[in-house]
């Protein structure tokens, strides 16, 4: 049994760019939205913007000539603070297996898709570059919306599955709906279905809205709702793609933090300065994560405050739940909090090491000042003694006689001993034998010195 349907296939695209509103055309000027148009205008700073709309062209797949679409329309949308989403829309006539084949190819062979002879990425690259997007690549998510043309569609054939789940309409074929949403040829066990039927969007017998992670089916609504559901899907899908990027980056940050040296006590002042700079860059990226989660993901979890339509709000809520966005946000936020706590603890340890080195430097400066004072005092006494305007009482004795040896030894000790102590401390500090950790346990035991030297050698 063949059926006709309108299919909209959404692909997320990942790139390096900061997307803001105001570039391109707002959704209110692109879609037929009826009475919702004014609400779309007011909320356009949070809603999708059209970056590029391309002439209708044929869609083919490299290496598979028997699977092709005669004509399709490609558009590229940017969601502020979230990401890029391409929308490929086309009319398709065929039975359920043929439709499933097309949906599978659009999902699992998107890299081989050719739009008018060019790859999808090559086609949209120019429009993406207009917003400063670089490194354009396919994201991990593909979502499709199937809109049956009329009630003669196989979706409305008799149900062979029994018993049907609670609230599943008798007039809608559960097996066909599952195959179209999950893009599978395998038969369905009705008691295990997880297809969501938002009550508000299915309140009339002529309305059908079924939503799950891979896609949705919409029937019995005007063009305004199909277009609104498309914008809702763009919002949710871009938020999911952004969430994947943040989680991936957070994990990398956690791994990099784990690899940083942990023995702060054994670091030199230069090592501590380098690690403090590294932790500073991590902290900067951490603040970016908080802003990205708030503006690019959490703000997309509901649309009722922006678009006051109960039916659209029910569809969007079901879609957000199907994409597991709330759980993903909580998990990623927990990872970010763990990263923040780890950075704070590591920063405190580094700052403690820096303070210990500062204390050590101040101690050495105090020693140097003491040595200088001692030497100056000794020299003052020495020159005061030898510079006295006097002479020996006995002409047979001299200043260089042995009877002054004790005084000379005392003067020499005053000059040499403090200088030698300062030089020894400086040598031990520079060689790594003593550092901030050993200042609290001075003098260090011989075994500790041996262990520290051995660690330095290895």
Strand, coil or helix: 251? helix
**Residue 434 corresponds to which tokens in the numbers above?**
């003593």
pLDDT band at 385; cut points 50, 70, 90: low
Q: Is the pLDDT of residue 150 over 90?
A: yes
Range 431-450 average pLDDT: 50
**Surface-to-core class of residue 49, CB atoms within 10 Å of its CB (0-12 exposed, 13-18 middle, 19+ buried):** buried
State residue 452's pLDDT score: 53
The whole-number pLDDT of residue 114 equals: 93
Q: Is the pLDDT score of 339 beyond 80? A: yes
Q: Which of 337, 346, 367 is nearest to 281 (CA)?
A: 346
Tell me what the mean pLDDT of segment 81-94 comes to. 94
Please, where are the H alpha helices in 260-324? 269-296, 310-322
Q: Are 211 and 322 within 8 A, CB to CB? A: yes
| CA–CA separation, 45 and 164 (whole Å) | 43
Across 222-248, average pLDDT: 94
Q: Are 199 and 256 in contact (CB under 8 A)?
A: no
Among 72-81, 137-146, 218-227, 386-395, name the one with the lowest average pLDDT: 386-395
**Average pLDDT of the chain?**
85
Look at residue 148 and tell me whether its pLDDT is greater than 90.
yes
Given pLDDT bands bounded at 50, 70 and 90, which one contains residue 225?
very high
Query: Does the pLDDT value for residue 446 go beyond 50?
Result: no
Mind giving me the DSSP string for 423-439? HHHHHHHHTTSS-GGGT
Which residues in 236-255 are b (16+ Cβ under 10 Å) and which e?
A: bbbbbbbbbbbbebbeebbe
Cα 184 from Cα 136, distance rounded (Å): 29
Going by C-alpha positions, the residue among 312, 285, 287, 317 that lies closest to residue 302 is 317
Task: Read off the pLDDT band of 38 (50, 70, 90).
Answer: very high
Give residue-wise pLDDT tens across range 196-214: 999 999 988 889 999 999 9
Chain segment 256-265, per-residue pLDDT in tens: 888 888 777 7
Strand runs labelled E in 172-226: 208-211, 215-219
**Distance between CA 324 and CA 239 in Å, rounded?**
11
């Amino acid at each position: 049994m063949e059926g006709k349907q309108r299919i909209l296939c959404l692909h997320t695209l990942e790139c390096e760019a900061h997307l803001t509103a105001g570039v391109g055309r707002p959704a209110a000027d692109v879609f037929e939205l009826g009475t919702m148009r004014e609400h779309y205008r007011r909320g356009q700073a949070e809603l999708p913007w059209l970056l590029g709309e391309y002439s209708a062209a044929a869609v083919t797949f490299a290496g598979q000539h028997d699977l092709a679409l005669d004509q399709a329309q490609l558009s590229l949308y940017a969601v502020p603070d979230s990401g890029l989403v391409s929308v490929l829309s086309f009319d398709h006539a065929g039975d359920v297996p043929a439709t499933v084949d097309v949906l599978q190819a659009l999902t699992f062979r998107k890299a081989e898709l050719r739009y008018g002879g060019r790859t999808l990425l090559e086609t949209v690259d120019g429009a993406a570059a207009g917003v400063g997007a670089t490194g354009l690549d396919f994201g991990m998510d593909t979502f499709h919306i199937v809109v049956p043309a009329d009630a003669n569609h196989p979706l409305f054939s008799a149900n062979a599955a029994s018993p049907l789940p609670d609230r599943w309409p008798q007039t809608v074929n559960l097996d066909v709906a599952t195959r179209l949403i999950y893009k599978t040829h395998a038969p369905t066990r009705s008691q295990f279905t997880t297809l969501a039927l938002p009550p508000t969007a299915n309140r009339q017998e002529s309305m059908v809205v079924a939503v799950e992670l891979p896609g949705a089916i919409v029937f019995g609504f005007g063009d305004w709702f199909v277009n609104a559901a498309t914008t809702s899907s763009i919002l949710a899908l871009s938020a999911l793609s952004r969430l994947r990027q943040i989680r991936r980056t957070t994990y990398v940050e956690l791994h990099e933090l784990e690899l940083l040296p942990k023995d702060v006590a054994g670091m030199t002042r230069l090592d501590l300065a380098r690690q403090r700079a590294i932790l500073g860059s991590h902290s900067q990226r951490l603040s970016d994560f908080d802003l990205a989660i708030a503006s690019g993901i959490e703000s997309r979890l509901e649309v009722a405050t922006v678009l006051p339509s109960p039916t659209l709000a029910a569809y969007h809520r079901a879609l957000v739940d199907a994409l597991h966005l709330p759980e993903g946000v909580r998990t990623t936020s927990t990872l970010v909090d763990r990263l923040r706590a780890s950075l704070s603890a590591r920063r405190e340890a580094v700052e403690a090491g820096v303070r210990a080195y500062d204390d050590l430097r101040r101690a050495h400066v105090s020693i140097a000042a003491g040595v200088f004072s001692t030497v100056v005092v000794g020299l003052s006494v020495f020159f005061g003694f030898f510079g006295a305007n006097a002479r020996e009482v006995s002409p047979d004795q001299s200043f260089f006689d042995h009877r002054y040896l004790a005084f000379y030894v005392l003067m020499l000790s005053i000059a040499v001993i403090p200088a030698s102590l300062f030089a020894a401390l400086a040598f031990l500090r520079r060689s790594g034998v003593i550092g901030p950790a050993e200042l609290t346990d001075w003098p260090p035991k011989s075994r500790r010195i041996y262990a520290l030297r051995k660690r330095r050698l290895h």
